[in-house]
């Protein structure tokens, strides 16, 4: 995928007549509630992608028999574009999101979206809506590509029609209060051979009830464990998770049941690049119990595009709640955040060419 000067686009562009930008209060952005002017829509039918279009963000009309509503073929991505220190706009590792989107599509029996069209659509959307990219600290333009089955048909089989869309939302600093997480020993987010490694809508639906239960017990999120034995720690809510154990940053390895987060991969790569040792391996609940009792568990945090680094203040372990040390003593999580932000906002060297300017 190369950024070229596209003479001919593979889709149409119908810019809005009047932008809604003026009416937006950028000092008070609720996450995922404010939508930029444009969206991209491209339909799949008769075995091929039709010509897409960027046009005004707005509602759509569908049949009640639309297959995604009944059989759940629906996937999405979450990525961000950042206002650079020099005033420009850059996407962070969009190629990784495009690849993961098509991985999810394949797993859910859906057609892959041609990478070049996907990329072009992102670039043109961001050019049109560049004014929507906030420039306050910790803010960004959140980008939501998604695809769902649109054929009207009752009966279980892959849909023969799909819609691929992209919209964007300006977002402010994410809710960064440290979270209390419950180590979940009954419910399961993902099983071996299942769909946990895909960003499939149904994975999130299945996590809602257990998360509400955890909330009623005084927690904010769930620390998921493996489905077969509930002994290995996998993910925290909808984020990857990292610990500082014996002074070392440790992250559970990715698998069928641990989604390969781009924030996680970038954090690991950047830390190693800066000479910090990182272990990618299995982390067990017992290890967390022992390490916390012996003062060897000093930090725990989630890693994901929405919040970047989400500190955990309390672990609901099977033997009771355990509070992590005061965040003012943490060293690893702040370093991860600073390194990631440096690259994403263009204030540090982008050693790996992760920023794609638009
Ligand atoms: C999206 C997601 C992540 C984080 O992925 P990023 O690419 O870092 O945003 C982690 N776990 C789950 C279950 C996710 O859906």
* 285-316: pLDDT as tens digits: 999 999 999 999 999 999 999 999 999 999 99
CA 149 to ligand 1 center in whole angstroms? 22
Quote the ligand 1 centre to 305 CA distance (angstroms).
7
Same domain, 111 and 152: yes
Statement to judge: residues 160 and 309 lie in one domain = no
No. of helices (H) and no. of strands (E), the chain: 7, 19
* Ligand 1 and 292: CB distance under 6 A: no
Q: How far is the CA of 14 from the centre of ligand 1 (A)?
A: 32
Q: What is the pLDDT of residue 7?
A: 53
Domain holding 98, by residue range, is 3-173
Q: Given this model, what pLDDT does residue 30 score? A: 86
Contact in structure between 133 and 82 (CB atoms under 8 Å): yes
Q: How is residue 204 written in tokens?
A: 């999130």
Say whether pLDDT at 112 is over 70: yes
Q: How many domains does the chain have?
A: 2
pLDDT score at 1: 43
| pLDDT score, position 354 | 98
pLDDT value of position 193? 96
Average pLDDT for 335-349: 97
Is 189 found in the same domain as 161? no
Contacts of 169 (CB under 8 A, 6+ apart): 31, 32, 33, 34, 35, 36, 141, 142, 144
CATH code for position 215: 3.20.10.10
Q: What's the gap in Å between 237 CA and the centre of ligand 1?
A: 9
Asked if residue 349 belongs to a domain, the reply is no
Does ligand 1 have an atom closer than 6 angstroms to the CB of 261? yes
240 CB within 6 A, ligand 1? yes
* Ligand 1 touching residue 199 (CB < 6 A): yes
């Amino acid at each position: 995928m190369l950024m070229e000067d596209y003479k001919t686009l593979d889709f149409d562009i119908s810019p809005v007549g009047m932008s809604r930008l003026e009416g937006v209060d950028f000092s008070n952005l609720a996450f995922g509630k404010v939508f930029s002017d444009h969206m991209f829509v491209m339909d799949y039918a008769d075995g091929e992608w039709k010509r897409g279009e960027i046009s005004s963000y707005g509602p759509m009309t569908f049949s009640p028999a639309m297959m995604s509503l009944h059989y759940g073929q629906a996937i999405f991505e979450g990525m961000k574009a950042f206002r650079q220190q020099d005033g420009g706009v850059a996407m962070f590792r969009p190629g990784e999101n495009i690849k993961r989107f098509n991985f999810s599509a394949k797993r859910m029996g859906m057609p892959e979206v041609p990478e070049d069209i996907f990329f072009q659509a992102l670039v043109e959307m961001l050019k049109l809506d560049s004014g929507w990219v906030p420039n306050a600290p910790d803010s960004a333009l959140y980008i939501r590509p998604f695809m769902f089955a649109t054929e009207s048909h009752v009966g279980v089989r892959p849909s023969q029609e799909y819609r691929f869309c992209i919209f964007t939302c300006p977002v402010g600093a994410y809710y960064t209060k440290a979270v209390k997480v419950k180590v979940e020993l009954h419910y399961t987010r993902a099983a071996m051979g299942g769909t946990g490694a895909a960003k499939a809508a149904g994975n999130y639906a299945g996590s809602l009830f257990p998360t509400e239960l955890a909330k009623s017990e005084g927690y904010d999120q769930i620390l998921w464990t493996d489905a077969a034995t509930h002994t290995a720690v996998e993910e925290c809510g909808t984020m990857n998770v990292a610990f500082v154990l014996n002074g070392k940053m440790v992250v559970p390895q990715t698998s069928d049941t641990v989604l390969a987060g781009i924030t996680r991969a970038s954090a690991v790569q950047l830390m190693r690049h800066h000479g910090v040792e990182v272990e990618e391996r299995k982390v067990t609940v017992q290890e967390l119990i022992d390490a916390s009792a012996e003062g060897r568990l000093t930090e725990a945090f989630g890693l994901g595009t929405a919040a970047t680094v989400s500190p955990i203040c309390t672990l609901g372990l099977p033997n009771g709640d355990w509070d992590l040390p005061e965040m003012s003593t943490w060293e690893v999580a702040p370093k991860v955040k600073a390194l990631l932000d440096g690259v994403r906002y263009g204030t540090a060297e982008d050693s790996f060419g992760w920023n794609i300017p638009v």
